[in-house]
Amino acid sequence: MKQVLIIGESSMFREYLRQKLEENGVGVSIGINALDGATKIRNTLPDLIIVDYHLSRNGVMEALRPKREDPNTVNIPVIIFAQRIDQKRLIELIPYNVKKVFNKPIKIDALFAAFSELLGIPFEVDKSPGIIEAHVNDNIIFVEIAKGLNRDKLELLGFKIMEFLNIYEIKVPKIIIMLSDVKMTLTDAPNMEKLLDTVIKVSRAKLRHVRILTLDDFTRQFIYEQKKYDDIEVVSNLQFAVDDLLSGIDLLDIVSGEKKAEIIGDRLLKAQNRDSSEIVALKFDAEIKSVTNELMENMLEDLKIAVIEDDFVIQELIKTTFIKTGATISYFSNGEEFLAVIGNEEFDLAFLDLNMPKIDGFGVLKVLQSRNINYPVIVLSSLAQRKIMIQAVQMGVRSYLIKPVKAKDILKKSIEVLKANF
């Protein structure tokens, strides 16, 4: 039996890989940090080592250096996952028999193709269309699905929801499943059932706190015909679903509520202009409670963060939040200043105020969309109206914070969007 050693501090990340590898007859060992990983390399002599570059204790080199010095382990191939590695550090990895370096978020099909190549074992991956994105706002878990229901990505979704529950310490899960351009047929029924069962089981959400947003009549009929989903509401209006979950009002008690809500229209739910080859980019990682300052520093030290915000207090708050990480932070007092540099500078994360002089946040988002610039954007806004949030979602924003914000909220949201494994 082939043996794989996984070295990483994210329990969910390790568990997902363990599950997939063991399903394919591969034995798996776990190293929870650099020191433990180095010991496991020596004792288990695995056929492949998978290691997260951003280990908080001593670092990845402390795990790989003893491997290089031991003739019994020097030739074991290594796969590395990283947020980002510059050219200099890539060169440093060559002597350690690193065969593949995957920048996060990792494409699932490419990852298992690498496993097949290095282990000589075929891995079956669902290659059917499917894009899944998940995010949390106002303690509502939003799940967006487009193109189709891919089973491998539905499995990842379960791990993602578990992460959200831990990061945000959500006690009463509320979930909106947005089925963008998904046209269901009878052949999709098993995958639709897997989607709903996964969400309900992992989140432990009450069915009355789950909303399915769709324009597809077949999907609506299928869910209503399944007795076990009796309390799940199927709606066609995002604003109504959000307001309803936040207010705690049950849809069953409101006959005409949806008619009164502002109709969002087809732009959100109908086919969107997405690359069909796009692979799910679920942000998926360890519990917030286990994320140490050292791990944050390792993760962020090479990152470039843009703050497009005219409020000096917010600028200072973000600076204070990241002061020990080593990240490079650039400040722009309005959208015009920021757009003037995006052709010459790249950023890994942006904090964006919506209400600014000259060019506001929505103007910035339009330009980013038109230029196909897709690094994570966290919207900071004092505009708490739900229609503003929905407009931001339509513009591609997956994360936002309502002012006034606290450092811990900035940190949690940054971890969600930056510590991306898949």
pLDDT at 274 over 80: no
Q: pLDDT confidence of 389, banded at 50, 70, 90?
A: low
Angle (nearest 5°) at CA 39 between 38 and 41: 65
Cα 78 from Cα 96, distance rounded (Å): 8
Cα 26 from Cα 45, distance rounded (Å): 14
pLDDT at 290 over 60: no
The predicted model gives 371-399 an average pLDDT of 75
Cα 383 from Cα 358, distance rounded (Å): 18
Q: Out of 43-52, 71-80, 248-257, pick the least confident.
A: 248-257
Q: What is the pLDDT of residue 422?
A: 59
pLDDT at 291 over 80: no
Cα 39 from Cα 201, distance rounded (Å): 36
pLDDT at 404 over 80: yes
Cα 308 from Cα 332, distance rounded (Å): 5
The predicted model gives 252-264 an average pLDDT of 40
What's the pLDDT tens digit per position in 312-342?
Answer: 999 999 988 887 777 889 999 999 999 999 8
Task: Report the predicted TM-score, pTM, of the whole model to 2 decimal places.
Answer: 0.74
Q: pLDDT confidence of 387, banded at 50, 70, 90?
A: low
34 closest CA partner among 11, 15, 57: 57
Q: Which amino acid is at 203?
A: S
Dihedral over Cα of 379, 157, 292, 168: its sign: positive
81 vs 241 pLDDT, higher one: 81
Q: pLDDT confidence of 56, banded at 50, 70, 90?
A: low
Dihedral over Cα of 245, 247, 253, 256: its sign: negative
Q: What is the pLDDT of residue 259?
A: 41
Per the CB < 8 A criterion, the answer to whether 155 and 190 are in contact is no
- Structural domains in the chain plus CATH codes: 3-119 (3.40.50.2300), 131-269 (3.30.750.24), 288-418 (3.40.50.2300)
Write out the two tokens for 383: 């505009």
Q: What is the pLDDT of residue 23?
A: 92
Write out the two tokens for 119: 């282990």
79 closest CA partner among 101, 57, 62: 101
The DSSP result for 152-201, as a single string, is: HHHHHHHHHHHHHHHHTT-SS-EEEEEEET----GGGHHHHHHHHHHHHH
The predicted model gives 175-199 an average pLDDT of 92
Q: What is the pLDDT of residue 216?
A: 93
pLDDT at 265 over 50: no
Q: pLDDT confidence of 277, banded at 50, 70, 90?
A: very low
Cα 178 from Cα 258, distance rounded (Å): 16
- What are the two backbone dihedrals, phi and then psi, of residue 99, each rounded to the nearest 5 degrees? -95, -35
Helix axes 312-322, 407-418, angle to 10 degrees: 60
Q: Find where tokens 């920021």 sit.
A: 338
Q: Out of 41-45, 157-161, 329-333, 386-390, pick the least confident.
A: 386-390
The predicted model gives 90-118 an average pLDDT of 89
Which helix or strand (DSSP H or E) is residue 298 part of? Answer: helix 293-300
Computed over its alpha carbons, how large is the radius of gyration of the chain?
A: 22
Cα 218 from Cα 82, distance rounded (Å): 41
The predicted model gives 367-384 an average pLDDT of 82
- What are the two backbone dihedrals, phi and then psi, of residue 80, each rounded to the nearest 5 degrees? -115, 135
- With pLDDT > 90 as the criterion, what percentage of the chain qualifies? 40
Question: Furthest-apart CA pair in the chain: how many Å?
Answer: 74
Order the strands of the 140-146 sheet from edge to edge.
Answer: 131-137, 140-146, 174-180, 210-213, 233-235
